[in-house]
Chain A
Amino acid sequence: MSLAIETRDLVKTYKTRSGQTHVVDRLNLRVEPGEIFGFLGPNGAGKTTTIKILLGIIYQTSGQAFVLGKEAGDIQVHRQISYLPEKPYYYEHMTGLEIMQFYASLFGIKDTEHCKRLLNRVNLGNDMNRPISQYSKGMQQRVGLAQSLLNDPQLLFLDEPTGGLDPIAHIEIRDLILQFRDEGKTVFISSHELSDVERICDRVAIINKGEVVAQGALETLLVGGRIEVTANGCPAELADRMRDGHNVVSLNQGRLIVDMPDDKNPNDVVTAVQSAGGEIVSVIPRRKRLEDLFLEAVSGDDKAKGRQTISMLGSGGNDAVANGQAAPAKTQDTKGDNP
């Protein structure tokens, strides 16, 4: 069986006032049939753009994109896929059932009972004759999921399906997505919210500025725990020595945090700190979370994060140096370095 989704060196360039922006930059994705694939990245990373290319709504600048073995945009493939856009909107004068009938008719499906069954499945059985304008956000999102099931698709594209929803709605949507997998469907789900994705995705790709910075099975990416060693009164020279390819190191006014894989011996760090005149504050083991991957992967330019975490993981030559020294030049460097 062919791959559900494959992209080869996919590039999408937009012309802007300041020249050209690579919104998607040599993107290589491989999504296997039957898996829930998380497509992660901060806002503006190029997730929606990639999905639109895969659907044939916009066109790539170069590279190739295949969906269910056919070139993206193939109209026959559209019978076997479905798409839930980011923050979708529906014709507000229509009721939930009318919307379903409308989308069904686009497949040539005239079966009203089928529409009702799907609305029942997303718990809208009692509200299907109310206009969409009276629906809450969560209800609208559930209509969106119901319409995405009309053609019993093999492959679903869900763009930020839990965006802007309250926690209960989150859980409802997540449970529905898990049911899709049990039915053998492939789900391609984009998100910048990690907590949901972590629990449901088999594999993820993390992208930043249109480039994949980490990709793989979650259990592989999340393998092992982390140990975090915190110390005060440390010199910059010590921080430099700690950077050996697997550690996430930050130094702020003498406060050193070394976040390391748990297969390494924290005693080495403790000894080094002590011999450099530093004072150990804590040594804390913890489970690795998707957040770690995410932070590590996008650390090249993520201003939002609380501390300066520099990644060694997943992004080959991206060995930028923290804290002042190489920081200003970082953004350009990471762009150019990646293969």
Chain B
Amino acid sequence: MSAILSIAKTTLGEAIRRRVLLVILLIGVLFLVIAPGLEALSPRQEATVLRALTLGVIQLTSAVIAIVLTVYLIPNEIERRTIYTILSKPVLRWQFLVGKYLGAVFALGLMMALMTATMLLVFAVMKGQTSVDQLGGLARVPVMFFVQMSLLAAVAVFFSTFVTPVVNFFLSGGVYLVGSVFNSLFEAFADPSRGDINPVARALATVVQVIVPNFQNFNVQNSAINPGQVIQGELSYTIGLIGYALFYIAILLIAGILIFDRREV
């Protein structure tokens, strides 16, 4: 256990010093700060649009960070030969992989926490929203984003055990898009009650639906954007989602370990 945590800790230390990630993070934070200043928004819509925009910035920035951070996790270790000293110690490959993954998730959490704090500060200072209710409702969304991004990171770690970083970037990005933005599209194609869909296309869409994790479910911003809405059974929904993510992460890591175990590094 101590080996896994040590590897996670050094991975975190490396990640928060990586210039690419810091630049992406900086751009995200910058957008968060200037968003309220966009005067083009009409006052009535402003509250809703600003929330959606702000959360969207956090989601997009986090997704890019999650992918860029993880696709180089293993390749960098091999290229710099740091992995050799580690694997020549009594460290098993699964421990190494899990340690790297956890480190990436820690780093991701830290960066997302920074963005969330910025967002809350912006809403508190610029919009005068200081009630715990308002801010708490808002903060809940990035927490679920974090669970979502941890799952995305697991996807990228899995791919990184057998494809190059550049290919991985597009693969993981593609999986994320299919699982989030295009999710409803695939859902429609896979719908068995629709007769107008070519059976082959439907089968394919069903397979994609089954394999690709559903990222869309983690986007719980509706209630935060429109504070009037009340969602029934929110807690159990959240717990179910976290369980779903953990299940997928476990499967991905196990599959990644099986590949990585046999791989030459």
Instruction: Tell whether A108 pairs with B13 under 8 Å between CB atoms, given A55-B84, A55-B87, A78-B88.
Output: no
A18 within 8 A of B: no
Nearest A-chain residue to B5, judged by Cβ: A105
Q: Would you call A90 and B82 a contact (CB within 8 A)?
A: yes
Q: Smallest CB–CB gap between B228 and chain A, Å?
A: 48
Is A59's beta carbon under 8 Å from chain B?
yes
Q: Are A79 and B87 in contact (CB under 8 A)?
A: no
Would you give the shortest CB distance from A89 to chain B, in whole angstroms? 4
Q: Is B3 an interface residue (CB 8 A)?
A: yes
- Establish whether residues B13 and A93, one from each chain, have CB atoms under 8 Å apart when the complex forms: yes
Cα–Cα, bound, A33→B9 (Å): 37
Instruction: Select which of A85, A94, A157 is within 8 A of B81 by beta carbon.
Output: A85
Question: In whole angstroms, how far apart are the Cα atoms of A61 and B6 in the complex?
Answer: 33
CB neighbours of B5 from chain A (8 A) = 105
With A87-B81, A102-B10, A108-B2 known as contacts, the answer to whether A59 contacts B88 (CB < 8 A) is no
Question: Which residue of chain A has its CB nearest to the CB of B96?
Answer: A106
Q: Which secondary structure dominates chain A's binding surface?
A: loop
Q: A57-B265, A106-B3, A106-B6 given as contacts; is B81 within 8 A of A78 (CB)? A: no
Asked if residues A106 and B90 are in contact (CB atoms below 8 Å), the reply is yes
Q: Are B14 and A105 in contact (CB under 8 A)?
A: no
Interface size class of A (residues with CB under 8 A): 20 to 34
When distances are taken between beta carbons in the complex, the residues of chain B under 8 Å from A102 are: 6, 9-10
Q: Please give the number of chain B residues whose Cβ is less than 8 angstroms from any Cβ of chain A in the complex.
A: 24
| Closest B residue to A109 using CB positions | B2
Write out the residue numbers on chain A whose beta carbons fall within 8 Å of the beta carbon of B90: 75-76, 78-79, 106-107
Which of chain A's residues 46-60 have a Cβ closer than 8 Å to chain B?
52, 55-59
- Is A81 interfacial (CB-CB < 8 Å)? yes
Question: Are A81 and B14 closer than 8 Å at their CB atoms?
Answer: no
With known contacts A59-B264, A91-B13, A107-B89, A83–B84 Cβ distance under 8 A = yes
Query: A106: which of B14, B81, B86, B264 is its contact (CB, 8 Å)?
Result: B86
Contacts of A84 in B (CB 8 A): 85
Q: Give the chain A neighbours of B265 by CB distance below 8 A.
A: 57-58
18 sampled A-B residue pairs with Cβ under 8 A: A55-B84, A57-B264, A59-B264, A75-B90, A75-B92, A78-B89, A83-B85, A84-B85, A85-B84, A85-B85, A89-B81, A91-B10, A93-B14, A102-B9, A105-B5, A106-B3, A107-B90, A144-B85
